[in-house]
């Protein structure tokens, strides 16, 4: 732990840092998954969904930064390397054998939903052990992920 004037107890800060680093790894993985879709999507609606995936990846990158900076503010070290994300992400691996825009939208939606669900649980955990600022930040991230999920799901053909 790095020295800090943060007034949360060290026990609370350690718990929050662990929770946040878990979600930092998943956010880095999620951003890479969305970029994978962005680079490989094909179909008649290509340009729209290609741009959407780029926007979603950018939003997820912003959430990674928020998480990592909160870790630093708590006196911890943000564990944000690709190697750490590979070892620590709880998301299922992204399929490499798809190209169709509907398949990519479905896969990205699944990853967004899994990340969002975990962030909501982390929000409750952080509030439960007394870190309301982390919980509040996770609420913002959850809300943003929900919006991105809605945008991606609007591109899934239900026929």
pLDDT band at 159 (very low <50, low <70, confident <90, very high): low
Domain span including residue 84: 10-88+97-153
How many domains does the structure of the chain reveal? 1
Task: Please give the structure tokens belonging to residue 149.
Answer: 């999920």
Residue 144: inside a domain: yes
pLDDT tens digit sequence for 132-143: 999 999 999 999
Backbone angles phi, psi at 100, to 5 degrees: -60, 135
pLDDT band at 3 (very low <50, low <70, confident <90, very high): confident
Residue 14: inside a domain: yes
Residue 3: inside a domain: no
pTM flag (> 0.75): yes
**What is the C-alpha radius of gyration for the chain, rounded to an integer number of angstroms?**
17
Q: Which DSSP symbol is given to 95?
A: P
Residue 110: inside a domain: yes
Is residue 158 pLDDT above 80, yes or no?
Answer: no
Residue 113: inside a domain: yes
pLDDT tens digit sequence for 33-74: 999 999 999 999 899 999 999 999 999 999 999 999 999 999
Element spanning 42, H or E = none
Chain mean pLDDT for the chain: 95
Residue 84: inside a domain: yes
Residue 5: inside a domain: no
Residue 145: inside a domain: yes
């Amino acid at each position: 732990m790095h020295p800090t004037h943060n007034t949360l107890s060290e026990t609370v800060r350690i718990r929050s840092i662990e929770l946040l680093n878990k979600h930092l790894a998943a956010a880095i993985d999620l951003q890479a998954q969305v970029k994978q879709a962005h680079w490989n999507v094909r179909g008649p609606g290509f340009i729209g969904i290609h741009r959407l995936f780029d926007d979603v990846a950018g939003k997820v990158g912003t959430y990674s930064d928020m998480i990592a900076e909160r870790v630093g503010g708590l006196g911890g070290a943000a564990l944000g390397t690709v190697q750490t994300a590979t070892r620590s992400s709880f998301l299922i691996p992204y399929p490499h054998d798809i190209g169709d825009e509907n398949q990519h939208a479905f896969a990205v939606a699944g990853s967004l939903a899994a990340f969002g669900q975990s962030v909501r649980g982390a929000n409750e955990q952080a509030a439960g052990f007394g870190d309301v600022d982390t919980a509040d930040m996770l609420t913002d991230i959850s809300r943003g992920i929900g919006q991105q999920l809605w945008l991606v799901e609007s591109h899934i053909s239900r026929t």
